[in-house]
Amino acid sequence: MQAPDASLPAPAGAAAPPARPAGAQPVRGAGGRRLSSLMAAVSHFGGQLLGILLALLVSHLIARRLGMGAEADAFFFGRRIATSLIETLSQIMAVFYIPLVAAHAARAGGGFLRATLRHAAIAAALGLGLSLLIAWGAAPMVRLLAPGFEGGAAVLAGQALTLFGAALPATMGCIVFAACLNVTGRFGMPSAIRQLPRAAVAAVLALAGTDIAIRGAGGFAVAWFAVAGLMLLQCLRIARDWQAEAAAPPAPAAPVRPLAAGISAVLLMVAALASTWLETGFAAQVGPGGVTRLELTQRLGTLPGNTLVAALSLVVFTAWSRRAAAGQRPSASDFWRNIFVGLAALLPVQVYVALHSQALVGFLLGHGRFDAAAVDSVAHSLRWMTLAPLSAFVLRMVLVRVLADPGLPVVRLIAIGIGFDTLLKALLFQLLTPGFGVVGIVTAQAISPVATVLLMAALLRGSGLLAGPVRLGREAGLAIAAAASIAGFALGALPFSGVAPSMRGDLAMLAASGLLGGVLFLVTAKVLRVSVALH
């Protein structure tokens, strides 16, 4: 995520926002222009918002054309396994590359571009190896993770997994390109470009007549190579602008430990993949439609919130990495203020989804082969799923804080934290899934991060990272704005209580509730003169 300094002078009587630490630098874009951390987060979220809309469109098209049966399960299995690897690599490898790129930018100026191209080539080669490994092991993976799949469903799942995995060389290269662009102050553009594969899948689902699953997976892979080409061009274009900044004297730098960052990235990646594959395997044991129900539940329940969290955490991590490269250390107040801002923004989103789960599922998915029973089952699990992003966000920020501090025993802390989280999830899946099905899986995802945060807090007790005075400035009004927004969601839905469900009625209620809640949030923030600086 990212550093800086977007707050305005505090009004009389308000606590003054903490000053930016000496040596901390604002995010800078092309030609040295200054970008506030809040605007960087908004820019990144804007690109991800396009992805949310495309993901909802894809969910609608899959529900309409495939329903919730064996064929949809096979398609979602292949997609979940391959794209979980892609998305995990995209998020976790940033842990490795962003600090390295930030250090190159601080010490070597324009030389970081040559390093970026070298790292991108290495990453693409690793991606090719993973792609070939997936192609070779697709059938055994289906048998291992989804033993309930039989006949054509198992074959289709293996084929989809192979095609989705073919995108890995491009996605691995894009991870490095995105780190380069983020450190140079560009968040919205790479975020938007990376939505092209979703657009390709949506186009195939809308237009293909036969072999929908296979053609969709192929379109996804081809689109990722187009994304890699576009991001490479953007990295090359910034060379001229960044050379001018390289003339500035280098900042005093903290030691960078690429081996520790690399090991931590691998540990996080393995844990994230293990979690996804475990939950997929348990969902497959629920029965026909289990994997599809889990996928759609998670997509609707976490996509908006997780996108917001990813934007915030990326900006903060980038900022803290730049400060570490300059020899600075974020305070406990910085950490908890970012937690407060994230939860204040995330809570209304999750409440909206929980409050309108039935209408959301009915409007987005309840068409074609997706019958009323399917709508009810997904809506029920969706209400429980809305809890998970809240606890996951706090754990994510704790891990980000650890990763951004080269003075900590990073590998040991990460290994203990994510190892405990993964084992606890596996235990909870085993205990809860037989009695509660998919609801047991999503409940475990909400409980596990809470226990892991408590463990991490105990491990960090003597470090001073999490303990200390917390000073809120004008961002404190976000709590009142969030409460006003939630009240608006409930009030906006009142005129539609008792109205029979229909596509038009659901849309009208969702729009009225969301509009009133959004307006109340903005008006309250304006009246209270809320401003936010992410440090």
β-strand partners of 28: 34
> Is 397 inside a domain boundary?
no
> Is 186 inside a domain boundary?
yes
> Is 434 inside a domain boundary?
no
131 CA to centre of own chain: 23
Sign (positive or negative) of CA dihedral 89, 45, 406, 179: positive
In order, the DSSP letters of 262-307 are: HHHHHHHHHHHHHHHHHHHHHHHHH-TTHHHHHHHHHHHHHHHHHH
Using an 8 Å Cβ cutoff, are 535 and 18 in contact? yes
Domain ranges, residue 75? 45-241
CA dist 355 → 30, 211, 490, 506, 510 (Å): 43, 37, 8, 13, 10
Using an 8 Å Cβ cutoff, are 330 and 417 in contact? no
First to last CA, the chain: 8
Specify the number of domains making up the chain.
1
> Is 13 inside a domain boundary?
no
> Is 98 inside a domain boundary?
yes
Taking only the tens of pLDDT, the chain with its 535 residues reads: 333 333 323 333 333 333 343 333 444 444 444 444 555 555 555 666 677 778 778 777 877 776 666 667 777 777 777 777 777 776 666 666 666 666 665 555 456 677 778 878 888 898 899 889 988 988 888 887 777 677 777 888 888 888 888 888 998 888 888 877 776 666 667 777 888 888 888 888 888 777 777 888 888 889 999 999 988 888 887 755 554 344 444 444 444 556 776 777 778 778 877 888 788 888 888 877 788 788 788 878 777 777 777 767 767 777 776 666 666 666 777 788 888 888 888 899 899 999 988 888 888 777 666 777 888 888 888 999 888 889 988 898 888 888 777 777 888 888 999 899 999 999 999 999 988 888 999 999 999 999 999 999 888 887 767 776 667 777 788 889 999 999 999 998 888 877 777 778 888 888 899 899 989 988 998 888 876 655 5
> Is 192 inside a domain boundary?
yes
Sign (positive or negative) of CA dihedral 270, 403, 308, 167: negative
> Is 293 inside a domain boundary?
no
Q: What is the pTM of this model?
A: 0.66
> Is 233 inside a domain boundary?
yes
Q: Which two tokens stand for residue 23?
A: 């040596």
Using an 8 Å Cβ cutoff, are 148 and 286 in contact? no
